[in-house]
Structure 1
């Protein structure tokens, strides 16, 4: 919740009331709704109206402070005295302030150009919430309305004086937006208040405002804004300037606390030469302010750029350190993963080797048992006789083995005999005779030696399948 002292101080700054007790009573009467209290105060103050040019009621939103030697004070205590110009500090209408620059509520200050930089604030920036939910929408609507009036003035000006190709480059924005634009471009704001019914208006617009020299000088050195006193914003600005004669022109620049500095005003008919001379003098007298503001703005931009570059360099260095640290961690994790993977593979290979050795030993033991069993199954070798077959077996390595078998012995027994010798490392082989070539494969194991034609003797060799 915003402190009541802040609201009280802001209300005093907006209204200009110095009596703190009176301000407190007004705020309390409006439930400390700051925007509602300001609106009520400014509305009530509009009852004391005056006439403009004999035809229009004046809204007394303004305070004039004639200050030929008035110094503008800054937040840091410094002061700037305008060079050779009798400045007037003018308080702008709250309705114009609140509807400008897209702020959610009334602006406290437009800011200084001179030596202090821009000082722009809003209620939202100070922590004040909108007193009414629709204030932001109303401000946006007011800003759009002001821009619409500006564009309507330009259209009417072009219609009445468009046959002259030379015209001031009036901006199609509201007064506050034009003021903001002049500040951002480090230029003064040229204000023209248009009174369509005044007899001096047409010749002034044709001969002076649309003069080639005047137009060139205005467009080069100023931001130009125009408004008709028939429009809402133009009428209120005529009250602010207390315009008493038309045509009316003024040169202003932003001041502080919702005010502007009136550097020069030109009332009544003016020749192009007089207008150029006046504007030249204002530009020359204000050049120190504008140059100082531009230099300081450039210094601020330079300092900001340097800070951004330093921040960018710091972030880059930090990111590089973080990247190196991340890379180091990733490398360390990769090394640890590789070491763990190597250890896992080593263990797997060791286990596989042990398993293979164990299986080989088991297979060898099984083969030994099988040879022993088959050798026992052969029985004793028979003595020579008519029913005994002599078998000679030649192995692939050139080794020969022979034995006698009963002629009715099955070929299966020959395979058992070869297996029992342990010469071969495989059981995938066949017994073959050369002449004629005959294969005694496993499909003939049930045949007897005699039936197979191997009696009384046979010479067989082994062919690995």
Structure 2
């Protein structure tokens, strides 16, 4: 399976190949699954694999609500030392006789060995049923086993519950080894079978192995849960159809070669469930990733739409504010012009009366407005310059702000604090006065 078929980016592909090179895991889908669970943190994923190879629990190991173990009696493969080829069995009457003798001996032995156990349990009570330190029971077994039998496969250094959780999370086969010093087959099985280098290599590469002595509370509890009948016992547990299921049992002693062949058969028959679980898990993660991307894209689109709507709203509000401002300014301008017209009208009413042309005390002035209009008006020589300015202001053709200048010599007629008559201002009859717009 190529990395491109796994739906990975170039960066993820590089990490996948590095992880495979450092861990030696051949299946790329397994490597991808491990990296995905660790959020593609290469360092954490590698350290986790090294921890598991040394038997230490992973980050996922927990004793809270361990998965239930199903004993599938129909699909479960059971191997016993009775299945071992007997060189004395040649068929016929002799073979039948040997079989009957062995069968009777087995029944008698089991009956005789069971009576002391029953009596012992009666007088001892239920002390073995009370599990107070499951991790201590496991570590005591590992230390005692390592002191007596070496080498051996890597034993999981955690409780049975932790081993189940790790096997389920890591999608690995879990070998549950139940050790009993009371079984006559145990020493030979430990010294030869579990010490076989080929057995050790196969178990370490393909499974997690958890072991405990049935004489301890933790081992006794597990033995009762799996229905142990004969020791040494190896149970093969795997995630099958979303349930941790016992798919194989190897009861009693056997050779290393036979143990490997049995494990190969059980693991091979049930590997499809792990492959299916990995595919389902990847499909779920891919679906969740796509959903997260879709949600992110939707949120981004929503934020963009909201931002667009906000800008549009701000533009509309700004446009409304400008229109309102223009309306207010127009109203103010309209009011100002009305006030100006009213002011001109009031000013015209306050102007001194125009003297008759026959009055010798009158002076006539010609006013030229910026628009080109000419206007002649008579004033009394006793009138002031302010009267002239008021006259110009009150006229409809007058600019709002203006100044009055003489023709020659040109000078600006300004009202000072001292009130002077037209005569005192030096104005003469028939003078031409220019009205200039100050805002022009």
TM-score (norm 2): 0.52
Match of residue 215 from structure 1: 200
SS of match in other structure, 1:214: helix
User: 1:367 matched to which residue of 2?
Assistant: 344
Q: Structure 1 pair 278/180, CA: closer, same or farther in 2 (3 Å)?
A: farther
Q: Does 1:425 align with 2:399?
A: yes
Secondary structure in structure 2 of the residue aligned to 1:291: helix
Deviation at 1:200, TM superposition (A): 8.0
CA–CA separation in structure 2 for the residues paired with 1:451 and 1:208: 141
Paired residue for 2:273, among 290, 293, 308?
A: 293
CA distance in 2, matches of 1:464, 1:445: 25
Cα 1:311–1:420 shift into 2, 3 Å = closer
**What is the Cα-based RMSD across aligned positions, in Å?**
5.4
Structure 1 position 226 matched with structure 2 position 186: no
Q: Which runs of 5+ in 1 are unaligned?
A: 1-99, 117-141, 268-273
| Residues 294-313 of structure 1: pairs in structure 2 closer than 5 A | 294=274, 297=277, 301=281, 308=287, 312=291
Other-structure match for 2:136: 148
Match of 1:51 in 2: none
2:179 aligns with one of 193, 206, 216: 193
Q: Does the 8 Å CA contact 1:411/1:447 hold for their aligned counterparts? A: yes
Q: Aligned partners of 1:258, 1:302: CA distance in 2, in Å?
A: 19
1:200-236 CA distance string (max 9 Å, x none) = 84x8656553332231122234432222355322356
Question: Which residue of the other structure, out of 368, 371, 388, is the alignment partner of 1:414?
Answer: 388
Pick from 44, 64, 67 the counterpart of residue 102 of structure 1: 64
Compared with structure 1, are the counterparts of its residues 309 and 367 closer, same or farther at alpha carbon in structure 2 (3 Å cutoff)? same
Aligned pair in 2 of structure 1 residues 309, 180: CA closer, same or farther (>3 Å)? closer
CA shift digits 1:245-275 (9 cap, x unpaired): xxx53221359999967722234xxxxxx63
Cα distance 1:372–1:260, how it changes in 2: closer, same or farther (>3 A)?
Answer: closer
Preserved CA contact (<8 Å) 2:347 2:390: no
Take 2:245 and 2:379, find their aligned partners in 1: how far apart are those partners? Answer: 134
Mapped partners of 2:331, 2:186: distance in 1: 117
Match of 1:42 in 2: none
Structure 2: which 5+ runs fail to align?
1-61, 77-129
Cα distance in 1, alignment partners of residues 331 and 223 from structure 2:
106
Decide whether aligned partners of structure 1 residues 196 and 443 sit closer, same or farther in structure 2, where only a CA change above 3 A counts: farther
Partner of 2:356: 381
1:102–1:341 Cα change, 3 Å: closer
How many residue pairs are counted as aligned between the two chains? 315
Cα deviation per residue 1:86-117 (whole Å; 9 max; x = unaligned)? xxxxxxxxxxxxxx95339xx8753659879x
1:279 corresponds in structure 2 to 259
Structure with higher helix content? 2
1:446 equivalenced with 2:431 (yes/no): no
Task: Decide whether the 8 Å contact of 1:214 with 1:275 is kept in 2.
Answer: no
Q: In structure 1, the residue corresponding to 2:232 is in which secondary structure?
A: strand
C-alpha separation in 1, matches of 2:244 and 2:368 = 122
User: Helix, strand or coil: the match of 2:434?
Assistant: strand
**Conservation of the 8 A alpha-carbon contact between 1:395 and 1:461:** yes
Aligned 1:2-401 pairs, distance under 5 A: 102-103=64-65, 109-110=69-70, 112=72, 145-158=133-146, 166-178=151-163, 185=171, 187=173, 189-193=175-179, 195=181, 201=187, 205=190, 208-234=193-219, 241-242=228-229, 248-254=231-237, 263-267=249-253, 275-287=255-267, 289-294=269-274, 297=277, 301=281, 308=287, 312=291, 316=294, 338=316, 353=330, 356-357=333-334, 360-361=337-338, 363-371=340-348, 373-374=350-351, 377-383=352-358, 385=360, 388-389=362-363, 391-397=365-371, 399-401=373-375
Normalised to the residue count of structure 1, the TM-score between the two structures is 0.49
Change (3 A) 1:354 1:171: closer
Structure 1 residues 464 and 143: alpha-carbon distance in aligned structure 2, compared to 1, 3 A threshold: farther
Tell me if the contact between 2:137 and 2:212 (Cα under 8 Å) persists in the aligned partners: yes
- CA distance in 2: counterparts of 1:297 and 1:392, whole angstroms: 111
Partner SS, residue 233 of structure 2: strand
- Separation in 1, partners of 2:405, 2:323: 44
